[in-house]
Amino acid sequence: MEAVVTAIRVALPVPLRQHFDYLLPANMQVQIGCRVRVPFGKRELIGIVWQLDVTPEVAAEQLKPVLAVIDQTAVLPKLLRQLLSFAADYYHHPLGEVLTAALPALLREGRELSAYQPTSYRLTAEGAAAKLSDFSRSPKQAALWQALSEQALSETTLKTQFSSNTLKQLIDKGLITRFQTTPEPYQFQGLAEPALQLTADQALAVTALNQAQGSFKSFLLEGVTGSGKTEVYLQCIAPLLQAGKQVLVLLPEIGLTPQTLSRFAQRFQAPILVWHSNLSDGERLQCWLQAASGAAAVIIGTRSALFLPFRQLGLIIIDEEHDLSLKQQDGFRYHARDLAIKRAALEICPILLGSATPSLESLYNCQQGRFIHLQLTARASGQALPKVELIDLKQQVLQYGLAQQTLQQMQQQLQAGKQVMLFLNRRGFAPALSCQECGWLTECQRCSAFTTYHKHSRQLVCHHCGATRAVPRQCGGCGSPRLAPVGQGTEQLEEHLTTLFPDIPVTRLDRDSTRRKGAFASLLSEIEQAGPRLILGTQMLAKGHHFPFVTLVVIVDVDGALYSADFRAPEQLGQLLTQVAGRAGRGHDKGKVLLQTQHPEHALLQDIILNGYAAFARSALLERQQTFLPPCQHLALFRAEAHQSEPCQQLLQQLATFCQQYPSVQLLGPLLSPLERKAGKYRWQLHLYAKHRPQLHQLLSALLIEIPKWPLSRKIKWQLDVDALDLS
């Protein structure tokens, strides 16, 4: 009689769209969702058990055995596995890489969870039988014994009250023992401060969400800037915490976390944790453990917080749902908003998407009846929306890129003790250096782009590939030493503002000024102080911040974004202008926005200023419907890149030829990417459009089986991006 072979299927973190079977030794037991260590070629990898008792496709003697079972219970619970399986299928990404992306780094490395569980101490049987008189010669040991005779104590508590030496002495005597504990689900202690009075629109939104508890429904909360969306979030969350449920709040950027955390901590007496890439590996694992145990009531996090293993998830909130940062742009290219909707469906809980400038995708879903549309049409304070004034730059003498009219209004606000915010979406000192003799410009040697001059670090930096080099002493064309900055970045404008307004503090917010840990929170605290101040920055400033003392916003230059080839550019510019303008007049004083442009007559600017974002978005959506563009059609994008241009074009042409078997899918390309060369490689694209999603995915599945058979595909780096947002 043949011995029964137990084979299991393991998902491994490798870029291969296939499964891997291993022999499970008789002395090992395992569950689906557990981690195992297995041999893979000459390496050992940490994988996730995906199926038990499978019928292997090869002979049993060819199977390699599992080396070790790391977990006794699943680190990926069933609902999370369903979500990740859906994500792997939808985005056509290898399952092993998707599963691995959902785990904290320490678990990906194969660390045992038990090493990170909280520990406590209690008396042994011998310790319980001891008497106080036994410690007459050691008052410290007596105090520790007395404390533990009343109750077990956590390691954290003990180490704050007793020395490690005293602890060790009682352990060595066999009087106390250490044991691991599982964090208990949180206990809600109520509100730390009373809720605010709601407007009629806010009250309708809160009522709708409360009635949806315990069921899956998708809501879009469209509220003008300053309309009190956060207060709606807080009042929707309160009854859930009372019921012991957990809440996930997704934000597009780390920079929004400090303000949001502060608002939530002021309101709720419950454990509120954060999750983002600036945390250490240990901090992220502790957050993961507290989500899984139910010890965390609310987790405020960026994109990947979506994959935390909540014990009892009652609501998902996505703030600034329109933001492009919610889409992962490399590796596993998922959209956190779209996967969050799927997770809410699996968890049978509502999801709330909030924005002053909703994406056209979400507005389209409202039109189609998939989302329930909630609107906040006025500011919660009753304050009017800021007035927008176009400053025509034609035939004007500019001072450091600012019109005389602009400078006068800035001066008036600063003299009145108010704050002025200037938005310039170009970091660095200048977009390039130019030769004053022949017009030569500093270009990146690896990209089809100019290098940005950073004066403080004395470097030329490519903002596409990150390459840096020293500032040249002479022109690369004619050898002249006469090199000068062209255009203006935030560094240069900051320098000029200190010259124009020497007595006014200037706070610059961009990626360069916030690199250091804690720098962003420190700069925000500066801005929150009353008194005259100039605030300068890039699109970081547009991301939902509340600056109560800003009365004037100056948009220094938007003209570069008016004539983009990307069909999404008008939507993104409309969102950016509306969000930046919304930082003005959020306190007690009226707000105003000055928009400097060479094209004040441009239809897009006129539409947004005269009609507002809501009307603009609806006309833009109608235009997308008429031109058969997303969200009215579904888009998948193939990219190819190599050191030579021609092979990329050839590979994508091969893809295009294959796609002709599927007439329901329309093609655009192959064509050169707008940024033709990046990091030394030429870049090509092929766009696939389909009216019905199943038809597109049927084609993609067939393509991904064929592509590995083509010799060219093994020589060229290529990627698939489903629902692509970045067309550069």
Give binding residues for Zn(2+) as ranges: 435, 438, 444, 447, 462, 465, 475, 478
> How far is the CA of 712 from the CAs of 542, 678, 708, in angstroms?
43, 20, 9
**C-alpha span between 191 and 241 (Å, rounded):** 10
**C-alpha span between 220 and 233 (Å, rounded):** 12
Contact, 381 vs 231, CB < 8 A? no
Give the phi and the psi of residue 430 in degrees, each rounded to 5: -155, 150
CA 271 to chain centre: 22
Q: Which of 381, 319, 326, 302 is nearest to 355 (CA)?
A: 319
Give one DSSP letter per residue of 377-444, joined into a string: -S-TT-PPPPEEEEEE-TT---BTTB-HHHHHHHHHHHHTT-EEEEE-S--SSBSEEEETTT--B-B-
Q: Which of 720, 553, 558, 565 is nearest to 651 (CA)?
A: 720
**C-alpha span between 589 and 420 (Å, rounded):** 13
Q: What residues are designated binding site?
A: 435, 438, 444, 447, 462, 465, 475, 478
CA 158 to chain centre: 38
Count Cα neighbours of 639 within 13 Å in the Cβ-side half-sphere.
25
Give the phi and the psi of residue 263 in degrees, each rounded to 5: -60, -45
Question: Under 8 Å CB-to-CB from 157, ≥6 apart: which residues?
Answer: none
Give the phi and the psi of residue 474 in degrees, each rounded to 5: -145, 165
**C-alpha span between 652 and 686 (Å, rounded):** 6
Query: Is the omega angle on the peptide bond into residue 670 within 30 degrees of 0, that is, cis?
Result: yes
Give the H/E segment covering residue 685. Answer: strand 681-690
The CA R_g of the chain, rounded to the nearest whole Å, is 29
